[in-house]
Every structure is written in structure tokens, then in C-alpha cells.
Structure 1
Amino acid sequence: MAMRYIPIFILLFLSSSCKSDDQLTHTKPLTLGDTLISNGGGFALGFFSPSSSNTSLYLGIWYHNIPGPITIVWVANRDNPILAPSSPVLAITNSSDLVLSDSQGRTPWAVKKNSTGAGATAVLLDEGNLVLRLPNGKITWQSFDHPTDTVLPKMRFLVSYKAKVAMRLVAWKGPDDPSSGDFSCSGDPSSPDLQFVTWNKTEPYCRLTVRSGKSVSGGTYLTNTSSVLYQTSVNSGDEFYVTYTISDNSTLMRLMIDYTGKLKYLSWNRHTSSWAIFGEHPYVPCELYASCGPFSYCDFTQITPACQCLDGFEPDDGVNFFSKGCYRQEALKCGKQSHFAPLSGMKVPDNFFHIRNRSLDECAAECSRNCSCTAYAYSDLSSAGAMADPSRCLVWSGELIDAGKSTSGENMYIRLANSPAVNKKPTTEQILLPIIAFLLLLACIALVGIYKYKAGKWRKKKNQKKLMLGYFSTSKELEGNSTVPSVTFEDILSATNFFADSNLLGRGGFGKVYKGTFEGENVVAVKRLSQNSGQGTVEFRNEVVLIAKLQHKNLVRLLGCCIHGDEKLLIYEYLPNKSLDSYLFDFGMARIFGANQNQANTNRVVGTYGYMSPEYAMRGAFSVKSDTYSFGVLLLEIVSGLKISSPQLIANFSSLITYAWRLWEDEKATELVDCSVVASCPLHEVLRCIHVGLLCVQDHPNDRPLMSSVMNMIENENALLPTPKQPIYFAESNYEGAEARESMENSVNEMSITTLEGR
């Protein structure tokens, strides 16, 4: 929180007793006007007043080396200020206790450890941590264990200890009042190791995503500057804690809860000399706790997140369901059949019951046999570094509230009633009528096919007869065809300079193509057709019309035609950069799809190995998420300057994806960036592209974001990015990885991969 407060030591700047070292001893107390400054100069400890009247004095820690109003990160006596005219003193007693007292004999704050022996010192460390240290080096107390409203880098924030809430951030009461306010954030007392919640007094205000239960997990967030923030969550059994580190070891980043209830990620912008927000919760109205009502969720995958009904539910009032929620289309009844519908990418609802040591089938069975169970979610942690329980089974009863949907969510299974039509046995008419209709349709298709086949043979014979009679001996036959205007042969000779080689554009299946200029300004292309080119024996009038249609389909306008003896010529628009179709319809996998498709299954895989998604290369399953995978590969190539399978890669990494994943996992993503990119682009933008690229190349299509979300991630630097999952090509150097790769390549070869070079 940046404040307009003036530290007391500035008011007393001329005082001869002003101190500026980093230690407090028994013989050297801290008085009004004194400060402790950390060895690196990053933080200061002293007395400050939140108003210009200086009637209330607080002991606090703030950033020392940034300009402008001071930013307080810790307050000792926040709920017990020292009132003027009493003077404060911070001292170490003979028993090595740290005590804050005033001239009236009051003790607003103290650290009493009852240590044996004297000689303790209080030291302000470079991380902003005030520690009480004995002569033998043992730290008996530290301010990092007692945060107020702020978490600093390298601070170990203990969320829970032995399944009990441990630390809590408490907001200020107001912008000028450091006393404890109404808003706070901590682990949920009902499940402190699984979810983190901000509270308004005792009511939940905003709930973050439920954890999977892994013993170690992490995430990467790009700040507004060139730094990268790494979040690490550790569950060691008895305790669960979170730490934050920053890529350049800077301390100018903080996580805090403000007096309005917002949990903010802030970084210092040296260009604007101000704190910039690069993430916050809640950041949209529907992220507030239960704001969408029961059986609804906040859809974060949309450009503007809004409430939506869960599958199988409808809005309660038909229009605005931010408070009333949604109701079932088919009511659940005990004894009646039901089924579970999967929902992907979900932030699971609140008020779950955690069942331990269950497999997926056992978790589903727990919910199935309980009539009041409305949903369940399962995570397999056997290979993810879990503790004693290799799984996480959550079940819900009654209403589902405070759910969400994002690109980094998990699978959830919701209980829905079977439709009455599902259990109703079909009648004889319902069975026979579709069969009869299908047979009639086949018969109609066969008749149409026979008719077209015979009509085509008849037309071909007629055209051959006309060709034999010299039907196209002159160009006069085309003069009456208004759709294909005629041009004289003399005009073509003049335009092309008698078909000079200097005007030759190229050769194709139809013959040579020349560039020509009509009337000194209109540039056209002239295609010289041989006698039997194109459609062969098809009559020339139809051939010209057919070619005209083809040219129109290919976004090229036919301007005219000409016949000279046995030679035929077409005149059409000259496009120096080729027709648009040449870019649209061999681009990517566009030819696989119809105009209204967004996914397909193919019997023949076409594409470049390395750029194809795993599900397409191995099973022929292609969707819009397959192009997302290819885009991710391309993004990593652009950033690194390497090809997907490059000889410049470090040994033991068979592909760029493997190399990028290992560097990102080891927090060394900057090593992936090509030097030419570093010189021309801000580092934080490049690192964000690496993060987005790894999200795009995730193994399962459901884990990959839509391209609309990808664009939002790249353009919106304030958007928090989810943590990517380990890609399928990782760890190929061992025997099992090599064996898996060989299996995949064999399956790909069996499907007849066609590699298109240069795409």
C-alpha cells in the first residue's frame, strides 16, 4: 500500500541522534527519529504516523530505496498505537526480549522469548525481515512469521499447520488507518491445505482455485516489468506453505490485501515510479463468492467473464441469474435413474467433502450410491509427488456454489437425471420408420447418380461430335456469350509484345502465361492454351466457362478470351502476389475441414512431423486445438530461433519442446531466448510468449487454450497465466521414453503420414 505518510525520522532529519545502521542492541535502542536500514539499503525500520497531525505513532517496515510516498509492508503495533505526546522506544532487554514502550510506561508491543543469557540483537535483513538473533546465530523470532497485510519475496507464508489455519493476512481498516480491517485472507478452516480464501469479517468474499493436493506445485507469473514471479506451494504433511521468488532477485514485488478486500500482485515500475498491478482477485464481479448463485459458474474463458448455467440447468429467472442461479431441467429423484455428465476446465465448487484413499472408480461409486450426492471430482496424484494419499476425491451434496471455468481448471462430474425418453422402450413404428426413410434416401441417391452418369456420357459424345465437325474453327462462336467477352488476337499481340520472353510469367498444365498491358495501364495475364489442354475433348465454349468459374472460385476475375486457329487464349486479372486462395487453401489443415466444421477424424494424416499435435499424429483426431498446438510450436521457434528438431539443441533433448519445458521447469526460461530477440523485445513479453507456447503444446487438447484465449493472454499482460502441464515429448532420453516415441512413430507410419516440406 503506497501512502502519503512521512516517516518520523524525516520530520526529525536534523536530529543529531539519527541512526542508519541495520542492527539494534541492548546498548543502542531505537527512538523517535532513528531508523534501521538493511545492509543492501532496500528496507527501513522506524516510526511513522498515518496522518500529518502525528497524534498516533506506529513501528513499521517500509521500502527505503524508492521515491515518492513510503510503502509500509509490516506494522508491529497496528492495533495499539503510541499516542502523542508520549515518545516511543524500541529496545532489547537484559533477557534478550524485544520491547516497544512509551514514556508513559505502557508496552504496546513486545517479543518475549524468555531466553537464557543476554547479548541478542535485532537485525533488519535485505529481504525486509526483522529478526531477533542470539549471539550463537540462532533466530528466536522474525517478522516474516507474523505478517500483517503483505507477503514479500522469499517469505515463507505458512497456510496451515497440522490441518489448522496458521498465518493470515489482515487488511488495513482504511487508506490511512493501519489497524486491523474487515478483510483478510487465509486457508479455509474446513480444508486449509486445499483452498485459500479472502474473507469479509467471517464470511467468504473470494475463493481461489482448489489445489490438486500435490506435495509440490508451482506457477509462473509475468510482472509489468522485465521480471518473472515464481510461486511454489509445498505440502510436507504437517504443514502447507507458499513462497514467492522473483527472477532478478529483486524485492520490489509484493502480494497484499488492501482495505477494499482485493488480493493484489504488485511490482514496482521504475519508468513511472509507481506500483503497478499485474494480477488481482477478484478482478471481475462474478468472481465474488457465490455471486452467480447455485448451479452456475463464472466463465473466465470469455473475453468478458460472466455467469453461465452448468450443463443440464437453466437460468432461474430467464435473464439475470447473478443471484438466483440456475435450476435443473430434469429434477433428481431418489430411486430414479441418473447419470454423470463431465465438465472440463472447472474451478470446482465450495462446500465439498474430501474422501481420502480412493481410486477414480471408488470415488464415482461413493457419489453414485449416495442419493443426495450431486457431483464429484477426482485427481490422480500417484505420479505427481503426493504425500500418503495418492489421490484426491471430492464429493458434493445439495447445491453447487461458487464454481468457475478457466483454461487451467479440472474435470468435474455432475449428476443429471435421465430424460424420460431414455428409459422409454421404442415402439415398432419408431424402429421401422427411420429404416424405411433411410432406404428411400439411398434409392433417391442411386437414381440421381445413374442419371448424372448417363447424362455425362451423352454430353461427352455430343461434344466429341461437334469437335469433329470443326465447331471451334473461329472465335465467332463466342461472340454471343456475354459472360465471356472476346478480345482480338491483334490486341493480345500488341499487349504482350508478340509474346516476348521478357513478358513470360511462367508455365503450367495449361501452357505458358504472359504479362500484358492493355491501353497502356491495365496489366493482365494471358494464358495460352493448347488444342487439347484443360478438359481435353470438352467443347471449347464450356471449357472457357468452366475455367472462368474456376478462376472466379480462386478469386481471380476472367476478363476475356480469344481463338486464333487452333490456339486458345484466356485473359484474366494479373495478381503480382498470387491469388488469395493460394494462401488460404493450403495453409495448415484447412483442406481437411468443411466450411461448418471445427473438428474431424481423418484416415490419412497430412502434416509436418513435430508441428502436428499428438492426438492427430497418433489417432488422426483433428480439431481447432490441433492448430493451437502447431501455433505453440511456432511461438517457441520464433522466441528461441531454433527449429522444432534442431541440431543446435543441448544434448539429451530431442526436440525444442523438451528443451523449453526443462528450462521453464528449472526457472531458466531466459536461456531459451535468442540473442536477437533479447535485443529487440522486452524480456517480460518474450517470457510470456514462452509460457503461452508451453500452454499451447500440452498433451491433452482440453488443457490447451482456445486461440481467442491465446490472443488475450498475449495482449493482456494483467491476465494471470495457468501453469502448463508436462508435455508428452518430455523425458525421451530414457528407455521408456524412447520406446514410447518408437511406438508413436510406428503408429504414425501405419497411417501414411505425408510430410509437406517447407510448410
Structure 2
Amino acid sequence: MALHLISNPSLVLSSLLIFSTSLSFLSHASDILPQDQPLRDGQMLVSAGGTFELGFFRPGKSVYRYVGIWHRNTSTQSVVWVANRENPVVDSSGSLTVNATGNLVLTDGKGNVVWSTVTSSTEASSNYSMHLSDLGNLALRAGDGTTTWESFDHPTDTFLPGMTIRLDVKKGIRTLFTSWKNPDDPSPGNYTLGLDPLGSAQIFIWEFGSKLLWRSGQYNGQGFTGIIYRPLNSYGFKLMNDIVRQGFMYYTYSTYNNSIQKFVLEPNGVEKCSMLIEDTGEWTTVWEQPVNECEMYNYCGINAKCSVTDTPKCSCLKGFEPKSIGEWGAGNWSGGCVRRTPLDCQNNLSGDGFTKLGSVKLPDLSNWLSLVNDGQECERSCLGNCSCAAYAYTNFGCFTWGHDLMDIYQLADGQYDMFIKLPASELGSKSKVWIPIVIVPIVVVFILATCSFLWWKYRKQIKDLLQNGGKKESLFSGNRSQIEAKIDFSGPSQYGEERDEGKGSELPLFTFGSIATATSNFSDSNKLGHGGFGHVYKGLLPGGEEIAVKRLSRSSGQGIEEFKNEVILIAKLQHRNLVRLIGCCIEGEEKILIYEYLPNKSLDAFLFDPTKQASLDWKMRFNIIEGIARGLLYLHRDSRLRIVHRDLKASNILLDEEMNPKISDFGMARIFGRDQNQVSTNRVVGTYGYMSPEYAMDGIFSMKSDVFSFGVLVLEIVSGKRNRGFYHTDLDLNLLRYAWRLWKEGKSLEFVDVSVGSSYDIPEVLRCIQIGLLCVQEQPRQRPIMSAVTMMLASENASLPEPSEPGFGTGRNTSDTELSHSYSANNVTVTMIEGR
């Protein structure tokens, strides 16, 4: 062997170079790990400035080994990121390597892969490397310098300068920080932190993935309204908000005076901001929340405030009283408070005013009015809206709130005041109390006298009208002012992701001639489809805007009520996942609705067409599920009105040019009062396969009826099969029970549409199937509300309950044509409207 080496001097030189390179890496810490050069337990990467270190570590009293990044030069180890937090190495035999496909791979002593990254790299190369920056970011780079993966995109529990907390609803990206289980175990704990998925720019902490524990309050450009300490902008804290146009927002921050600082979500759910004292290497706490009961989300319930200096801590707002006197007296404040006296505007009186509540953390679920310029205009805006319960004018705009005020914290030195609307009797305005007492009887007498006179004068015309059946079309006859007197199009949106929309704008009225011109006189070549009450056409306005024109059939006996319903509702609702109403046309017997044109038509055109199913990959399907959930949440909770859709189905989900979903067809929708939970009806309308059992059989509908329909939609989207028409001949099962049986047998992946292929996120698919099954449970009380559904969809680590057997879903008849028939249930004859 020695003779061979001497006779090959080039081989000797090459061996010495390799050996010296290895010795150099082992003896001198570097910030770069070359490809195929293992980093073994005991070796370190150190950032160029010496701020951060990467290597193997053992947390607390644990016997396991983890790969992590921590601050150097601190008195105690301060780990900011962990690679294999769920899969530790059991001994000190682990090694970390950048492999030929550009992935970082952690293996144990037996060569088993313990953890690895997933990058977009597919081709083998010899130029990949790993870099540790002075910001604490670990980045994988290709030979051309392109970053293919970085730890800042996959945080654990620590928010560092240069990182972002991001919400991107279009790309489905949402940054979530997850606490350690305990100081000895870095595996994911019970708490997560991220941005409000509804786009309010607030930072939330959730417990168990769905229970809201704490919120930061609104961001004012300098800090959050619920956090009292040094303004965040002094730390370089910034918000980039383009949620309306581009669908994303994010927070980031830079260091203050080159100080070293961090935000950590602790294992107990507390978010702590700390700064390093470099002389001692000790961390000092700058701020932490929540640390008392009043900082916990909605601790005192609705319409109540919490103050740590009061005894008891919870008290009802002025003008409100406990919803349950017994529970409140026993110290159970979760039920909150209700108004003692209704607002005067609800009784068509004008005595409402405001009482000031100073130094508070502003309530949740606010509506930002961007066009309001001063406090007086903000007050007038709330006073003129009967659905507005309170307002606040701040240095960052006008905020209003709906009927229920949630999560109010009385701060010792807060800088924001809010004004709560109360009736005159609660304000002590005795000068106005006489108004209803004196004026109301006078008005009643005047109305009765006027009606008697009109009856006497027009008795013949009224008699003829009654004999001719009333002609419901007359509701829409007359000029614009007459129409607006009968249908109220005004009113601000209570809250939604489109914060500045729906604030009292007039709904344009089009002439029949202009619509006929736009649709080439309703040409068959422009026909997009047809529904139960008429045809839909594509049109082009003179300015070049494409529109969808819904022309109600004159022969439809039910179309008038549905038309009125749709105009009233959609004119008041504005949300990115609801179809936008542009205007309407009412001339003679013509009743026409003009919508935004959505080029991809409806979801069922893709989902149930074998030639188009493959174009819906899993990422697109999941985005559609999330979008429908956000739209439904807006209808149920966040809009100015509480809406039950009653006809949620695939054909009523329209898709825009980027395949984002929009809920359409509100002809069967119903408005719910704030204190209503369910309603009974003798006229059951909807579509077989999507109707909940209690609605189809007993005529009882509620928001949980929509949840059932949503669950059916989720299972249809995952499977690519229509519930109405699916029947498993071997097992005598419809689609819902087939999904449930596969779930119970642990075979849920067999339920996934084969056209999706294998490129899908398995945990995400299983989570969607489980959510779908939770939504179609037979008992309404077992189904989750939509706010819980959106949280479950957004959280990767949520622990979901086990679903019970689903309610029935008729599915044998494969026809999906429009038909109507009646049957009797509980001695009541009802009409069923089937799918369009």
C-alpha cells in the first residue's frame, strides 16, 4: 500500500487535501455546511457575526437529542428553533447532512432518517449548501445562490427580527408559532399564535388549535390597542396589509439600537417579549400577555367589561344587565349581559345617544369605516345605523361594532375611548322621555285616520285589486324613489374581510333596453345556464365590464319573493367569497339581477365532469373549501345581518378567474334575529342531498342546517362524487355513510378522488374528511358552528372530536334536474325544490 501511494503522488496530495479540509471543518466553526459534509453531534455551525449557533442539544432534563438554533453568549441556553421537535434522536449518534437533491437530512446512528426538509429541488447537484445567518435563519441554497428552503418559513415558538407573521389567503400560507410542550420537551404544545384568519390584522393565541385564548387588539401603526408598553414601531415593527387587493398581510420587525430581542410563545400560552442584557448574558422581560383573567379572550362574556382593579372583576356595561342573574351572582360570567331597554331606533324613535367608556382595549369584531374623516362623522354614522351598538374614533380611523360587544378590557392607562349607544331612558335624558309618550299616540291616530280616508276614497280600486289576485309584481312598479321606499338597499357591513365595502351604497337600476343590448337581446349564444326561476346570460356593458344577467321567468309562481329576497340580501352583503350584485332591472313584468361575471361558472361544472376533474388539484380544492367556509362564517356571524342560506350546494358555488369560490343564489335565504337559534316553516325549499334531516323532515332550519350542507359539499369536493346519485351497491350506503364507514375502518384515503393523484397533503385531506363528517352529524347540536370549522381548517395541529354517524342523505336518484313535488310530513304538506 505504501509503495502504491509513493508511486502515485497526485493521489497522496488529493488525500491530504480532503483530510485537511475535514480537520479544518472539525476544528473551526463555520456558518456554512457544504453538501455531503455531515455535521455530527458535538460539532457546531456559528453565524458569521457570532450571534447564533446551530448544533445538537438536550433540553432541560430530557435524555433525547435535538438539532436546534440558539443565541450564543447567554447565561442560559436560549433555543429559538428546533428541527426534529417531534422526532428526537435517542443518543449522540445523529448527523445532519445536505444531500444531493438539496435537502437537509437528519439521521441517527443506524442511518434511519429522523427528519428532513422538503424543497422544490428535483435534480441532483453538487452545489447545494446550508447557511446560518446572524438573524438566526437557516437557509438551503443552490449553486446559483437561490434559497430553496429557510427555517424562518417553518418557525417553532420564537419570533425573531427579520421573520414575518404572514397571512396569505390566496396562496394558503399562514404562519403559526407553536409552543413547546414543556421546558424539557420541544414537541408541539397546546398553544398556537398567528394572524386572525378573517384578516382583521390582530394577532391571536389559540388553545388546542381552535379555542381563542387572547388577542392583541387592533394595530394602529405604532402598537396594538390591547398591549400597553413601549410603542412597537420603535422596534421597527411594521404591518404590510394588502388583504383586500392581493389577499395577504404580514408583520415584521427589526432590532432596536442593535439590541438582541425575541418574542416567545411559552408552554403555558403566554407570549413574552424579552431583551438580552449583553453585559450579563441575562434576558429581561419587556412585556408578556396574557397574565391576568381580564387579558383572557372575552372573560366576562358579551356586553361586559373586565377590570383587574374592580371587585368583582366583571361588570355589565351601562344600560345592560346579566343574562342570567343566578349564574352572574355565582361568579359565572361567561353568559355575559343583555340590554335592559331596546334602542329607540328599533321602535322607530329618535332618542338614542351615547355614553363614554374610557381607556379600554377596543372590542373584537369591529367594522373599519375608512372614508370617515372625524369623530363627529363617525358618531353620525353609528347613530344612523340601527345595527350599530358602539363606535370609537381613533388616530387610525373610525370603528363601529354590531349588537354584541366582545372582549372589553378596562385598562389602567389605555389611550382609547369608545362610545356605547343607549336609548334615551338609559341616558337619563328626561327631556326626551316624553317624546314616545306623546308623539306615538298622535302618530297612530293620524295613520288610522289616513287609512280610513284612503279606504273610503279608493275602495273600488282596492276591491278590483283583491278580485284580481293582488298581482305581486306591483311591488316593483313605479320610479326609482318608489322602489327604494319599498326595498332598503342601504346599511354598512358589520364585519368581513372586505372591510370598506357595503357601506350604504345605492344599488344601480338598469333599463331593460340596456340589458337587452348587453346580452344581444338575450341571445342563446350568450346563455350561461338556467335555474329554477329563469335563465342566466353573459353580457357586456358599454364600459367593457362583463356581467352575468339572471332573468326571472315570468311563469314562475315563486320568483317574485325570491327576487325581492335576493335584492334585499345581496345589496347589503359584501365579502370576497360572496357573489357581487352589480344592479337590477325592474320594468313591467321583467325582473332581472345583474351580477359580476365569473368565467369559470360553477363548482359542479368542474367537480362532477370527468373531463375537468383533474384540473382541480388538491391545493385548489382545499382553497375552495376554505373560501366557502369563510363566506358562510360571514353570513352566520360577521355580516350586518345573520343569514341562513338554505340552498348551499355545488351549483351555487361560482368560481372566479383564479378559481376562488363565491357563494351565490340567495333567493331562499332567511334573515335570523340576533336572539333566534332556529325557525320552523311549513314550506321546505332546498335541494335533495344537501338538506339536513331536521329541515327535510320537520321543516326546522337554523345555521346548523347550512353547516350540514357545507359538510356535504366538503365530502363531495374531496371525493369528486355527487351525494345526490352516489350509491354503493355492495354496502348499501350513500356518500355520507360511505365516507363515515371508511373513516371508522381507517381507510379514508380510499375516499379521495382518484383524479387528484397522489400529490396531496395526507393530514390535510384527512382533516377535511373529518370536518365534513362532523358537519353532517344527525343531531344539530353535535355539528360545529362555522367559526369552529374555519379554525379547524386553518390549524394543522388541532385535535378534532370523533364524528358520529351522519344524518340521512338521499342519493339513489341520479337525476339532478329541476322538479317540484309535495308530500306530507307531520300532517303538513310541504313543497320540495330539487337541485338546479
| Structure possessing the higher radius of gyration over alpha carbons | 1
